Structure 1
Amino acid sequence: MRKPRIEVEKFINVKGKIMFFGEKKPLTAIETTKVLDVFKLMKKRDKRLVILTDQDKYHIKGIIATSDICHFLLKGESCEYCSKFPSHYYQIYEQPISVLARARPVIKLHHETPLFIGVHIMNEQNIGMLPLIDKDSDLIGIITERHIAFLLADTKQNLEVKVKDIMTPNVITCTPSQTIGDALHIICEKGFRRIPVVENGNLVGYFTVKDLLRYFIQDGVVKLFQDHNVDPIFHEKLNSIMVRPVITIDPEAAITQCASVLKKKSIGGLPVVEDDKLVGIITEHDIVRAMAISQS
């Protein structure tokens, strides 16, 4: 059955300049900055993406996402340097962040591009962020799925779309006794950014790729990497990093209510619970995917 569409054009000027809806000061790092320093910067700013730039901080050289970091930590082969020294993680931490950048084109938009085009590109390319540039191709901002999803939180319009209409059912979960290594495998293989944690059929926590990043830059973990004592790092149980208590939402809730909770808590997703049972998950990605914006 086809999912309903969120008719966002009814309350937002979708032909408006995309920069108006985005962020003017995105997180950036010069491509020669050390890997560990960038990880710490991402934690401090609570960001899952960083744009790599040249020394002048204007020209885009690449993008590093927490998913790239997870792939590196899992396989140690995200780049030429990593493949040569797969067990020497701490040596990688001391390398320039550019060594973790996977070869892929960076899709950019002019800052005056209409919003509906940006949403269309995100959905067509299955990406969660677009750098915004000026006429000289200098970086001046970004637009993300989160910026777009949060627009629903500010509307008074009565949208008929409910959480159950666009949520992802059949959720992949973990248990508290599974390990950090297990979590990395699931995130990298399934492509998810957040995983609920279930025990005896009950939702007891969740974790995200940002929680994993915070774990991997803890002083104790970095010291283990430095000593090449990797096994304890990946055998750590998920109950040590999972978030609790869990903020949830009902499947019958309006999508605007969901967006309001996401914005208020500054989070990107919510487990969907009915009669104390996990029945799905809804994320900013699901919301933007439902915005097949009309161009008329």
Structure 2
Amino acid sequence: MHQNGRATKQGDRLLKMQGKLDRGPVEFKSRIVEQEGEIMAIATRDVISLPQTQSIMAAVEQMTTCGFRRLPVTDAGTKRLLGIVTSGDIINFLGGGDKYQLVQVRHNGNLIAAVNEAIRTIMTPQPETLKSDARIRDAVDVITTRKIGGLPIVDKDGILLGIATERDVLSVLASGRSPLHVEDVMSSALRVTAPDCPIATVTRDMIKHRFRRLPVVSDDVLYGIVTATDIMRYLGSRDVFSKMVTGNVTEVTGLPVRNLIAGELFTTSPEKTINEVAQEMLKKNIGALPVIEDSRLVGLVTEFDLVRAFSGG
């Protein structure tokens, strides 16, 4: 595990956990609570947004300070929505995908120079949006079919009015009772990584498989969980720059992912109801919980899984 080669191999490791063997087929009978009001009733209205000329580093620092996974990018004068930047865009930029070309090609690997580029160079343009008269059902449909965690809300002219997130929707849906348990809705075929796996490998795996998080497993024991937001915060802390010698991005992304894992690890169990686990995630402000059974990792339950389950998806 301490050799880079072995760690890299385990960076894209797939665990197919069986957990309990007597689960049987699950019939999703839960249905979304009808909400006749507008999406604005649950949305954040006082939205922090960025001008497209803001630097990547300034955007990362803003998201890190506020604890946000995403920020809309707007025209400075009119507040018309131009795009959105997410923690996924940041890890893509750091080496996960095509946006890494900005660092590798335009700046020859110099991260210090690349983070001073304008946010428009890595933002997601023309993001999926909702109109202000949309129903909660409309938000659920987009979240579950497109796997989008946050939806800017705009008026007929494209002016930003607010933002509704997966968590906002879950807070409403979780008020309805469901007969389902964690084992019914969790993901049991998990990609995991190892503590000594380089950050660069983790970012590539996240972008390739469209994951926001990866369990970190050492000798089949859960070591922690690393998220796209953790990686973004690592860059936003600026501590990385004080330790850099050459300024090359590999000085940051070559470090083992264990450096990003800190704080208390929260887990859950297969037999808990999805109402219980939803309330726990909302209270702790976390997006996922590893599922442990007989001291083994058997699955992962996320906000997305819960929104889909409560809505009958």
- In 2, Cα distance between equivalents of 1:80 and 1:239: 26
Instruction: Please give the per-residue CA displacement for 1:99-131, whole angstroms capped at 9, x wherever unaligned.
Output: 1124x5322211111111221122222322211
Q: Which residue of 2 aligns with 1:95?
A: 117
- 1:204 and 2:226 matched: no
1:49-68 equivalences under 5 Å are 49-56=70-77, 58-68=79-89
1:1-296 equivalences under 5 Å are 4-9=28-33, 13-56=34-77, 58-74=79-95, 77-78=98-99, 81-82=102-103, 83-102=105-124, 104-153=125-174, 155=175, 157-223=176-242, 227-292=246-311
Instruction: Please give the per-residue CA displacement for 1:213-257, whole angstroms capped at 9, x wherever unaligned.
Output: 111233342246683233332221222211343101111111110
Structure 1 pair 76/129, CA: closer, same or farther in 2 (3 Å)? closer
Q: Are the equivalent residues in 2 in contact too, given 1:3–1:165 (CA < 8 A)?
A: no
Structure 2: give runs of 5+ residues left out of the alignment: 1-24
Comparing 26-35 and 219-228, the one that deviates more: 219-228
Letter paired with 1:164: E
Question: Root-mean-square deviation (CA), in Å?
Answer: 2.3
Q: CA deviation at 1:29?
A: 0.7
Letter paired with 2:86: A
Letter paired with 1:168: S
- In 2, Cα distance between equivalents of 1:2 and 1:27: 41
Secondary structure of the structure 2 residue equivalent to 1:215: helix
Q: CA deviation at 1:71?
A: 1.1
Q: Are the equivalent residues in 2 in contact too, given 1:28–1:57 (CA < 8 A)?
A: no
Q: CA deviation at 1:84?
A: 2.4
Q: CA deviation at 1:26?
A: 2.7
Secondary structure of the structure 2 residue equivalent to 1:177: coil
Comparing 236-245 and 39-48, the one that deviates more: 236-245
Q: Are the equivalent residues in 2 in contact too, given 1:27–1:47 (CA < 8 A)?
A: no
Say how many residue pairs are matched.
288
Comparing 244-253 and 35-44, the one that deviates more: 244-253
Letter paired with 1:254: T
Letter paired with 1:93: V
Q: When the two structures are superposed, what TM-score results if normalisation uses the length of structure 2?
A: 0.84
- In 1, Cα distance between equivalents of 2:255 and 2:93: 18
Counting aligned pairs with the same residue, the percent is 26
Q: CA deviation at 1:292?
A: 4.0
- In 2, Cα distance between equivalents of 1:242 and 1:126: 25
Q: CA deviation at 1:17?
A: 1.0
Letter paired with 1:113: A
Q: Are the equivalent residues in 1 in contact too, given 2:178–2:310 (CA < 8 A)?
A: no
Comparing 278-287 and 171-180, the one that deviates more: 171-180
Q: CA deviation at 1:78?
A: 1.7
Structure 1 pair 125/115, CA: closer, same or farther in 2 (3 Å)? same
Letter paired with 2:238: D
- In 2, Cα distance between equivalents of 1:217 and 1:261: 27
Structure 1: give runs of 5+ residues left out of the alignment: none
Q: CA deviation at 1:34?
A: 1.2
Q: Are the equivalent residues in 1 in contact too, given 2:95–2:204 (CA < 8 A)?
A: yes
Q: CA deviation at 1:91?
A: 1.5
- In 2, Cα distance between equivalents of 1:226 and 1:111: 49
Q: When the two structures are superposed, what TM-score results if normalisation uses the length of structure 1?
A: 0.89
Q: Are the equivalent residues in 2 in contact too, given 1:119–1:293 (CA < 8 A)?
A: no
